[in-house]
Each structure stands twice: as structure tokens, then as C-alpha cells.
Amino acid sequence: MIITVPKENLPGENRVAIIPDVASKLIKAGFEVHVETNAGLNAGFTDEQYESAGAKIEKDIKQLYNSADVVLKVQRPVEHPELKKPELELMKEGTILITFLYPLHNFKNAKECADKGINVISMDMIPRTTFAQKMDALSSQANLAGYKSVIMCAEKLGKIFPLMMTAAGTISPAKVVIMGAGVAGLQALGTAKRLGAVVEVSDIRPSVKEEVQSLGGRFIEVQTDENMQDEGGYAKEASEEFLKKQKELIFKHVTDADVVITTALIPGKKAPVLVTEEMVKKMKQGSIVLDMAVEFGGNCEVSEKDKVVTKHGVTIIGESNLPSLIPTHASEMYSKNILNLLNHIAKEGKVELDLEDEIIKGALITHNKEVVNPRIKELLN
């Protein structure tokens, strides 16, 4: 089977789905790999490196898609800027597309893929099981996003993070509040601690308290009898009563902070508002809010997607694609996730979609011109 790797066309996306080292491994596994000219350049990978790995460099975009049995992408299909045609129209019926489709938010895209006969495996729907960890691209990218979020805040803040004793006096450490202790939040915690900040973490799941404390963070705990996580370990949508309690408790912590990083997402739902404009008004002049959930509605009431704005003397960073800002390692990790997935679902260079397989059951969105994922089917009805 021929695997093709197009250049990403969503504005601001610097990652590539497959790096040369992984292309080499796929070729050894029996696949033929075609890569669009300069597809990996923004991530630091040249055409020469792909050719050395055994991949074919393809300049003709139509031919690239037309030859594909499997298309590997980072972002969902969009309009091709040169051809002025949707990428979906360039794919032939029966193509397997592996990408971040986010079908719980873009369920109409799923319907378009089904109508076109494209079989989609969405990387954000990989089940959260021990076996599937090595394929869990959401976690690998969130890990890097957590790191990058702290670096960006440290650069924007007019203070240093660590405690420093000097002949001119003592500098107190920066106070960082992180909302959400998932993969991104825990990496942000670890990074902020390494830079010397005092870090507090809030999460609706009491079960993460020990993880936060083991990394040196202080856990801001909201007392509740509600079960706050689903079977997959993700945070559930909280009740109005719980969110009210949380906001009251968080208010003082946020308004005392130098940096607030929000990471709270609920699959298929708008991100919950955790930092209100009233909180921002009460924050110290020059403090920073970074909203990692801005792509899905935002955790901060006044953040703006893909903009850095100053409101009430507070800098608010609304970067929607943090992994794209560290594209070399983000591409490396993502392509390894895809390699592990392909090793699981392919034999001797041929992908076999076993609909009874646990991974396929969770991540296969469309098959044979139908939307087959039950959650997406429900959203379309």
C-alpha cells in the first residue's frame, strides 16, 4: 500500500505527520511512502532526509493524493491553497485518512468524509487504555503544549520565576496557578517547578491530588460528592453548583497569581469558563493568563483565539496550537504514535480495518461511506 504525507495546509501548522526516521520504518514494514515536496521543512526535515530514508518526493499534488491508499495528516482536511479545492476532493474513494479530525466538534466534517467514501481514523479518538498509550497522540501533543505554555508565560512575565537572594535584596518566587491536571497541566506544573515557581493546581477530579503533590504542586481542592471523571479518565462536564463552588474557591488563588495557565477541556463540549473577566480585573498589573482551551471556546472569558491581548493590565495569550510552535519534537512524537498505530492495524504493508478491534472501534469514524462511530452518529441525528 502507498502511504502519502501531504504538506499541512491549515494556517499556522508547522508539524508534519511522518518524520524521515519513521518513514524508513514504514518502508521496512512493507509500505511505499510518498511525501509532498517540502512537507517537513517547517518542522526541520528536508526532502533529502526523506529520500535518504527511502521515501519518494512528489511535486504533483493531484498525483500525490491520487496514488494514496493511506493519507497521513496532522490537521483535518481543508481547502488546498494552491488548487483552490478541498483536500477531500483530491482523495479517491476508499482512501484511509489518519489525522486529528476532532469529530466530536467537527461532526459535519465526518459526514463529508463518509459521503466521499474516505475511511477516517481520528487520532484524538484513540481509546485511553494502557495498551493504546503508545498511540495516544492527544497526550503526546498535550505534553509538549504544557511545557511550551510555561516557557511562553515566563518570557512575557516582567519577573523571574525562581526565588533569588542577592546583595540587593531577596526576590520572591513567581506564583503560578494551573487549571486542570491532565497531561498538559502536569507537564506545565513540572516545568514551572523546574524554573523555580510556587505552583498551585486546580482540578475537578480529587483523584489527581497525589499526582500534583508528587510533582511539588499544591492542590486546590473543591469538596464534592460528585464523580468528576468518565470511564476514560477524562474530566466530565461539571454541574452548575460545582462550577460555582470552584469559581468561589479559585478567585483568591487566581487574583494572587503572577501566571495562570488553563488547560480544561471536555471532549465534544465547549470548554468551561474558569477565569472570568471579574477575576482578570482583580489580577495584578503585568500578570499573565495563557488559555490552552481557546480553540474550543476558552477557559478564560476574555481570551481571543490566536491573539495576545492586554485587558485590565493583564496579558492574555490565546495560542490555539502550542505543539506547532515546537514542530520538530511534536512531529517526532506524533509520527511515532502513528507508527505504533500502523504496526497494530497493518500486516506486511497492508492496513486491515478489523471493526472488532478495540482501537479501531474507538477511533474509526467513517467506513464504507457511513459514519460508524456511535457518538458521532448521535450528534448527526
The residues carrying an active-site annotation are: 128, 133, 136, 139, 234
Neighbours of 251 (CB within 10 A): 15
CA gap 79, 11 in Å, rounded: 11
Q: What does the CA dihedral 199, 133, 94, 11 come to, rounded to 10 degrees? A: 20
CA gap 69, 179 in Å, rounded: 42
CA gap 334, 32 in Å, rounded: 19
- Using left for φ > 0, alpha for ψ between -120 and 50, and beta otherwise, residue 297 falls in left
3-class secondary-structure state, position 252: helix
Q: Which three cell numbers stand for residue 255?
A: 487574583
Beta strands 346-347 and 314-317 are unpaired
DSSP string, 17-38: S--HHHHHHHHHTT-EEEEETT
Beta bridge partners of 306: none
Buried b (16+ CB within 10 A) or exposed e, 175-213: bbbbbbbbbbbbbbbbbbbebebbbbbbbbbbebbebbe
Beta bridge partners of 235: 229
CA gap 103, 35 in Å, rounded: 26
CA gap 9, 80 in Å, rounded: 6
CA 194 from chain centre, in angstroms, equals 23
CA gap 174, 259 in Å, rounded: 8
